[in-house]
Structure 1
Amino acid sequence: MEQPSYELTTLFDQLGLPSDDKAIDDFIMAHPLAPEIKLVDADFWEEHQRVLLKEWMRADGEEAVVVDQLNVRLHDGK
C-alpha cells in the first residue's frame, strides 16, 4: 500500500483554506510572521487549524516537514 504524499496543498486542504499555488502564495504574503511568533501562536488561525498544525508537527514524518515549510515561508514572507 502506497503512503500518502504530503504537500502544502494537502495541508491547506486540511486547514480548510484554498489550496491552489496562487492562493497559498497569497496567504503567505498576507500573513507574514515576526521571528518571535511561533507558527501555532499566530492570531490568524482558528482553533481547529491550530490543533491540526500541532498534530502534523507531532507526526514527525512528511506532515511535519510540510508544516516546517509553511513555517519558514510565513517567517520569510514569501
Structure 2
Amino acid sequence: MDTSKHNLANLFAQLGLDNSPDQIAKFIDKHRIADDVLLCDAPFWNEGQKHFIQESLREDADWCELIDELDAMLR
C-alpha cells in the first residue's frame, strides 16, 4: 500500500526525475506537448515512465490527479 504524500515533487521522484522545485520548473518549460497528444505518448518519456502514467490513469490510482495536473502544465 502506497502511503507517501502525493504532490508534484513526489510524482517527479516516482517518475525517476529530479524533483527539486527548480528542476520541475525547467522540465515543464522544456517539455511541451500538443493538445492532440496524450500525456503518456509524449516523446520524452522512457518506457517505465510511460507505463506508470498509463497504469495510474487506467486504475484511477492516487496519482491520477497529479498526473492530470502535470498534463495541464505541459500544454
Contact persistence 1:9–1:21 (CA under 8 A): yes
Give the corresponding residue for 1:10.
10
Give the corresponding residue for 2:52.
52
Alpha-carbon separation, structure 2, partners of 1:22 and 1:56? 25
- Give the number of equivalent residue pairs: 73
Paired residue type of 1:50? K
Contact persistence 1:33–1:42 (CA under 8 A): yes
Name structure 1 gaps, 5 residues minimum: none
Name structure 2 gaps, 5 residues minimum: none
Paired residue type of 1:37? V
Aligned-pair Cα RMSD in Å: 1.3
1:66–1:25 CA distance, 2 compared to 1 (3 A):
same
Q: How many Å apart are 1:55 and its aligned residue?
A: 2.0
Contact persistence 1:7–1:66 (CA under 8 A): yes
Moved more, 50-59 or 65-74: 50-59
